[in-house]
Structure 1
């Protein structure tokens, strides 16, 4: 994918290895603001500092089964989508391609970045002969679930995000192009 710039200044491009620290910082910002509403405890802090690191993103960026597309503005990256190949959905429905992450900085919500990134990600999935990618999101994240449903995804099951001894319900959604 070449860089794609629109008249409103939105530029989508493939992520580069030198984007790893920006992807980590953006992920921490979005993850904390989305999922931690009542304070930070060591369980969540340890997860963030072990999973959302520049080194982890460098490793992912070097894997052929991972595709990252970023939204770039004049200051830097304000959103990204990550497509992971070889990931079977928990309920067995859909293709073996997961939309593993779609993050947009909260201050950039409402500008169409999420929609543009998702459309680019869906095109990537189609190019991989995977027209029915799947994703999961926290079941309490009703804004995200509504967004994905408006974009042609259907709820196809439930799963859980496990962290330590805690389990958090997640909604499984699968892209259904005919639903659009």
Structure 2
């Protein structure tokens, strides 16, 4: 890595901002761009269109933002929105994993901002919130064919503990359930 690239990486400021209902259009655009960027090449156009239209409809996203046990944060790199994080606890979790867990439902990073530390920042934020809420573990589902994400989560201390079905359009796919036990303060 040359010196200019290193200096740019050092000088970047990553911050998080809570998503508000008034941000729904920006959230929708990021959702559709990032999901398509990651999964369009491995799925049919029909399945992608169906998923993008339903999962990221404004009404659906607004309902999710307004769910009390869900937390959305925009990730900002040098004051530019680079992606978002969605966390769920209690009844908002997409699957019942118990009262001592926090779900990382989405880590969506725009293509231009990948590999700049935002994913790590998002997971650190998830861990802090989980600890603040008295949770013992964080978990997530990741498509079994998303090898880059799987490698990242393993590197971050997650282990596979199960699997579930994720329906994309009309295609039933397997997501691996990954979990990380949080350090306890002694």
For the superposition of Structure 1 and Structure 2, which TM-score range results when normalised by the shorter chain? Answer: 0.7 to 0.9
TM-score by length of 1: 0.84
Runs (5+) with no aligned partner, structure 2? 1-9
Bigger drift between 31-40 and 110-119 goes to: 31-40
Runs (5+) with no aligned partner, structure 1? 1-5
1:140 CA drift (Å): 0.5
8 Å CA contact 1:95, 1:134 repeated in 2: no
**Inter-CA distance 39–160: structure 2 relative to 1 (3 Å threshold):** closer
**Inter-CA distance 99–56: structure 2 relative to 1 (3 Å threshold):** same
Give the match for residue 34 of structure 2. Answer: 30
Indicate the structure with greater helix content. Answer: 2
Bigger drift between 21-30 and 161-170 goes to: 161-170
8 Å CA contact 2:30, 2:83 repeated in 1: yes
Distance, in Å, in 1 between the alignment partners of 2:98 and 2:43 is: 36
Give the match for residue 117 of structure 2. Answer: 112
Paired residues, what number? Answer: 172
> What secondary structure, in the 3-state scheme, does the structure 2 residue paired with 1:135 have?
strand
Give the match for residue 126 of structure 2. Answer: 121
Of 47, 64, 71, the match for 1:67: 71
1:167 CA drift (Å): 1.4
TM-score by length of 2: 0.81
> What secondary structure, in the 3-state scheme, does the structure 2 residue paired with 1:37 have?
helix
Distance, in Å, in 1 between the alignment partners of 2:69 and 2:14 is: 26
